[in-house]
Structure 1
C-alpha cells in the first residue's frame, strides 16, 4: 500500500480538541472596589457575555451523574478539595469557607468555529462544546478553555487543526501574505450562522506596528473577541480586567481521536500527533527530524494499547504541550460519553492536563512579578526601597499559599491518571521551575531579613554609643542631686540658669554622639583593643572630628 492511498483511507470518525490558554492577569488598580479579578465578570450586562458556571457539585443533585462521580473519585482527597471544595451552595463564596478556589465562567453566544485551510478550498465547521474562563483564587492567572468537535474527518485535517488552530498570532508570513503555520481564516459563528468575529493573521502591518510600539506581541482579532471584556494590557483598549501572555503563543491542547482502526497509524503518525508538527507533505516518507529515538518510553502510555490483539485498545500520549488519546471508533467503551473513555477524556483527562499547565503558569507569573519588583527598585530612593520590600513580602505570601493550596506532586492513585500526570509535568518541567522560583523567593527573603538585621545592628550600635556618651551627662546632672551644691533654696532664676548650664551641653553632647556614632563606635572598639598602641587609639579619636568626603561622581 502506498502512502498516498494510506492517507486517503485514514479517517477520524470523531475528533475533539480542547485548547487551554494560560494568561497572566495584571494587578487591579489601587482603590478598586473588587477584591479579585473574577468579581469583574459577575456583572450581567450586554458588554459581558460570560456567566458563572454552576457545576454539578453545586447544582441540583438530580443532575449529578455517574460520570461526575467517576471524575471525582479519580483524584486524591486534597486534590478533590482543590477542584470541588468541601461544601455545597454559593452563599458566602470564599475559598476559605469550603468552596473550591476555582471559579468558572462560560459564554454561550458562540456555537461553531469555521476553519479555512491553505491547501483546501472548502472550509470545515467544528461545533463548540464549551467556551470557559478558569479563575483561581489569589493567583493572577486565567485559563481560556475552548472545546471543539467534529465527525468524519481526514487524518490530515486533524493534523492541520491541531497544528494551526491554537495560535494567538502568526510567527511570520508566507509569500502570499498569509500567516505562517496559521489557518488561512478562522471565524466564530453564532447558532444562526452569523459571523461574530474572524482572524486577521494576514494583516502584517498591524502586527509589526504593534510590536514596534508596545514591545509586546499583538493578539489575533478573533481571540481578542473571545476574551472580551478582558483586554490586552499592552494596547490602547480601556478596561479594568487586563491580561498579557505568559507562555509561547501556541496554546496547549488535549485531543481525542476515534478511528476505524487506530493500528493503521504509523509511528510517524503518532509522533506528529503528540508533537503537533502538522501533517507533512502528502505521500512523503516519515520526517527524519522527528525525535523517534525512545519515542514510546518518552511520550506513550501503552498499558492498554495492544496492536496485535483483535481490539487494539487505547493509546495515550503526552509531550507536555499536548495530551492525545487514540482508540477505536468500533469500541463502545472508548466512545462512551457516560461511562466510557470519551466522557473521561472530557473530564478527568482534561483536568489531568489542566493542573500542570496551571502550575507552570502560576510559577511563571510569580517569577514575572519578582522581575517587575526588581526593575522598579531604586536603591537611593527610600520610598522605592519600601515599595520593593512590600512587593517581595506579598509575593512570598502568594507563593506560600500557592504551595499549600495548589501544588501537588501526586494527584491520583489510579495508575493511568498518575502516569499521565507525571509524564506531562515532567515534560513541562514544573518541578524544576518550582525549585527555581522557590530559590529566587528564598534569596529575596534572605536579603530582606539580612537588611533588617543590618538596620537593627546599626541602631543598636548608635544606641550603645549614645548611652556611653550619655554617662558623662548622667554623672554631671547627678551633681544637682548631691549636697555639693545646695541650690534647693536658691532663687528660681538661679536654679533655671544652673539647669540650663547642665542641660544644653548634655543635649549638644547627645546630638554630637548621635551624629558621630559610627566613628565613635570605631574609637570605642579601638580603645578596648589591648593590642593597639596609645598612638593608634589617639588616631581613632581624632578620626571622630575628621570630615568624611563624599565619593566623587563617576
Structure 2
C-alpha cells in the first residue's frame, strides 16, 4: 500500500451494518405461524432482550425525535413500522406492528486489526439490534459502530472489511481475502467476548465440502447466538442461513472539516466502498465511472461550486451501500436534533431497512419454491402431496407479504421519497418482485390445472360407472320387480338373496371403476359415428389388453 494516501480526518464516523438471514423454520405445519421472537424470549441466559417501543411506554408524550421519524412515512408504512394505537387495535384494525426488535448490551466496542496495520483500532458500538417480521422467515441484524478523528484511509478500510461474514480467498500470508486481520467484540471492561477466525482456512474448506454452503466466521456466529447457523453442528431452536452476498449491506456517515478537500476518486471510493488509494486516481476506468454521479448520487444538498455553506452534503446509494458525506461545521449536516445526522440514524436507516427487508423476503420466497421443486418426485404420491402443500403455503405467504410489506413508495416527503425510489432502483427490487410473482402464480396455475384435470378424470370415471349401471337398472325395471316373489319368504332367506345379488354387483361396480379409463375410451369410440364397427371392437378389446392410450 503506498505511503502517500489521502490524509483527511473523519471527525465523526458511523457505520451501520445490516445482515439479512433466512430463518429455517417448520413452515409445513398447516395453519401455523412461526413466532421466532417468542422462542428467543423463552431461551434462558440469552443476551437478547426485546425492546419496548417508545409508542408503548407509559410516558405521557412521545419524544420529538420519534415524532419526526413517524411523520416522515405515509399511513400504510406507519402501520407497518409502528402498528396502530389502542383505539385502532380495539376496533379490529391493523393491530400491533409486525416488527419485533431485540437488543443486546453486553458488547460495547469492536477492536479491528487491519492488514499492514500494527496497531488495532477500537470502535464504539452504538447499538446492536435483531429484527423479526411477522409471518416472514427473515431476520435482520443491525450493528452500528462509531469513531471520532479517524484517518480517511482507515475509515475506508473499515468500511471495506468489517462486514465480511467469511473470506473469499486467502492471500500468501494466510489471511482472509478482503477481510480484517482480526475482529474482536469487547465488553465494558475491554475483555474479548469473541474473535474472528478468517485465517482458519481448514475450517472454511471443510465446512463447504461437507455442507455446500459457506461457513460464518466465529465472531459473527457469536454475535447471533443463541441463533445458530443451520448446517453447523451446534444445537439451537432458532437456525438461520445466509441469503445474500457475504459482504453485508452497509450505511455510513462521515463528517469532515472541509469535504471539498476530497477528490472525485475519494468520493467514488466511499460510495462504492473500495479500498483506499491515491486520491488523484479512480478505483475503476473513467468509462465505467462516467455516469457515477447521475446513477448513484443524490445531490439535493451538494454543489460543486459550493457558494452556500449548506450545499456540502452528498448522499450516495449503490444498492448495497448508502453513504453520506459532508462538512462537520455546517449545522444542516451535523445537527443532532434535525440535521442530516439525525435523519441518517432514524429515517434513512428505516428506509434502508425496509428496502433490504423486501429484497430478502423475495429471495426467501424464491428459495422456498426452489426447495419445493427440487424435492418433487412425480412417482411418489407423498412427494406430490408435499409439493402441493409447499406451493400453497408459499403462495399464501407471498399474498400476505404483498399486502402487508410491499411498498414502492413509503413517504411523500421529497428527500425520503427520492431516496427510497433510488434504493429500490439500485436493488432492482421491483423487477425481483415481478419475477417472483410470476413464478409463484405459474406454480399456482399449475396446481389449479392439475386439480381440474384430476376432478375431470374423476367425473369421467363416475360417468362410465353410471352408464354401465344404468343398463342393469333399466333391465331390471323393464322385466319388472316380481321375477322372484320374496313376500312370503323368511327374513333369513331375504338376506341370503340380498347377499347373492349384492356381492356380484359390488364386484362388477369395483371392476368397472378399475377399468373406467379404458371403458371411457371405448365409449368415446362407440359414440364416434365416423368410425367403423371394427375400430369400435378394437377399442373394446383394449379394455382388457395391456395397452392404454392417452386421452
TM-score by length of 2: 0.93
**Are the structure 2 counterparts of residues 489 and 271 from structure 1 closer, same or farther at C-alpha, using a change threshold of 3 Å?**
same
1:28 deviates by 3.9
Which runs of structure 2 are paired with 1:308-323 in the superposition (5 Å)?
308=305, 309-311=307-309, 312-323=311-322
Shift of 1:404: 0.4
Cα distance in 2 for residues equivalent to 1:328 and 1:356: 27
Query: Structure 1 residue 256 and structure 2 residue 272: aligned?
Result: no
Q: Deviations over 1:490-548 (max 9, x none)?
A: 56676556545544443333223112111111111111111111221222222222233
Provide the secondary structure at the position in 1 that maps to 2:6: helix
Distance in structure 1 (CA, Å) of the matches to 2:218 and 2:501 = 80
Q: TM-score, normalised by structure 1?
A: 0.93
Instruction: Indicate conservation of the 8 Å contact 1:246/1:364, yes or no.
Output: yes
Unaligned 5+ segments in structure 1 are none
Q: Which residue of 1 aligns with 2:469?
A: 470
Please say if residues 34 and 135 of structure 2, whose CA atoms lie closer than 8 Å, have aligned partners that are also in contact.
no
Alpha-carbon distance change, 34 to 548 in structure 1, aligned in 2, over 3 angstroms = closer
CA distance in structure 2 between the aligned counterparts of 1:154 and 1:497, rounded to whole angstroms: 103
Superposed, which structure 2 residues align to 1:70-219 within 5 Å? Answer: 70-87=68-85, 98-219=95-216
Deviates more, 1:445-454 or 1:473-482: 473-482
Deviation at 1:97, TM superposition (A): 6.1
Corresponding residue SS for 2:123 = strand
Counterpart of 1:104 in 2: which secondary structure? Answer: strand
The match for 2:225 is 228
Whole-angstrom CA distance in 2 between matches of 1:362 and 1:34: 16
Quote the offset at 1:381 in angstroms: 1.4
Secondary structure of the residue that 1:538 maps to in structure 2? helix
Counterpart for residue 285 of structure 2: 289
**Residues 1:188 and 1:504: Cα distance change in structure 2 (over 3 Å):** closer
Match of 2:235 in 1: 238
Counterpart check, 1:69 vs 2:67: yes
CA distance in 1, matches of 2:136, 2:350: 18
Match of 2:460 in 1: 461
Alignment of 1:151-550 (within 5 A): 151-280=148-277, 282=278, 285-289=281-285, 291-308=288-305, 309-311=307-309, 312-478=311-477, 482-483=481-482, 485-490=484-489, 499-500=498-499, 502-548=501-547
C-alpha displacement of 1:353: 0.9
* Alignment partners' CA distance in 2, 1:80 and 1:498: 76
Distance apart, 1:320 and its partner CA: 0.5
Q: Assess if the C-alpha contact under 8 Å between 2:542 and 2:548 holds in 1.
A: no
User: Once the 2 structures are TM-superposed, how far is the Cα of residue 103 of structure 1 from its aligned partner?
Assistant: 0.4
Does the aligned pair in 2 maintain the 1:470–1:506 contact within 8 Å? no
TM-superposed deviation, 1:333:
2.5
- Report the alpha carbon displacement of residue 51 of structure 1 after superposing the two structures with TM: 0.3
Give CA deviations for 1:5-33 in whole Å, capped at 9, x if unaligned. 7712x111101010000000001498999
SS at match of 2:139: strand
SS of corresponding position for 2:454: helix
Deviations 1:189-218 (A, max 9, x none): 111111111111111111111111221111
Per-residue deviation at 1:246? 0.4
What is the CA–CA distance in structure 1 between the aligned matches of 2:14 and 2:80, rounded to whole Å? 26
Q: Could you list the per-position Cα deviations for residues 192-247 of structure 1 after superposition, in whole angstroms to 9, with x for gaps in the alignment?
A: 11111111111111111111122111111111110000001111000010000000
Name the counterpart of 2:15. Answer: 17
Distance 2:105 2:490 in 1: 94
Q: Structure 2: how far apart are the matches of 1:184 and 1:484?
A: 100
Question: Contact between 1:479 and 1:485, CA under 8 Å: does it hold in 2?
Answer: no
- What is the distance in 1 between the residues matched to 2:40 and 2:366? 27
Structure 1 window deviating more from structure 2 (492-501 vs 153-162): it is: 492-501
Cα distance change, pair 470–329 in 1 and its aligned pair in 2 (3 A): same
Which has the larger displacement, 333-342 or 180-189?
333-342
- Contact 2:183-2:195 at 8 Å conserved across structures: yes
Aligned counterpart, 1:43: 42
SS at match of 2:132: strand
Which range moves more in the overlay, 262-271 or 232-241?
Answer: 262-271
Give the conservation status (yes or no) of the 8 Å contact 1:18–1:145: yes
Name the CA distance, whole Å, in 2 between partners of 1:130 and 1:529.
78
Q: Unpaired segments of 5 or more residues in structure 2? A: none
**SS of residue in 2 equivalent to 1:178:** coil
Relative distance call for 1:350 and 1:472 in structure 2 (3 A) is same
Mean alpha-carbon deviation: is it higher for 500-509 or for 247-256? Answer: 500-509
Q: Is the contact between residue 198 and residue 217 of structure 2 (CA under 8 Å) also seen in structure 1?
A: yes
CA distance in 2, matches of 1:534, 1:373: 49
SS of match in other structure, 1:218: coil
Q: Distance in 2 between matches of 1:458 and 1:201?
A: 60
Cα pair distance change 1:451/1:283, threshold 3 Å: closer
Q: Deviations over 1:108-166 (max 9, x none)?
A: 00001111111222221111111000000010000000001111111111111110000
SS at match of 1:67: helix
CA distance in 2, matches of 1:435, 1:37: 28
Q: Label 1:524 to 1:34 Cα distance change in 2 as closer, same or farther (>3 A).
A: closer
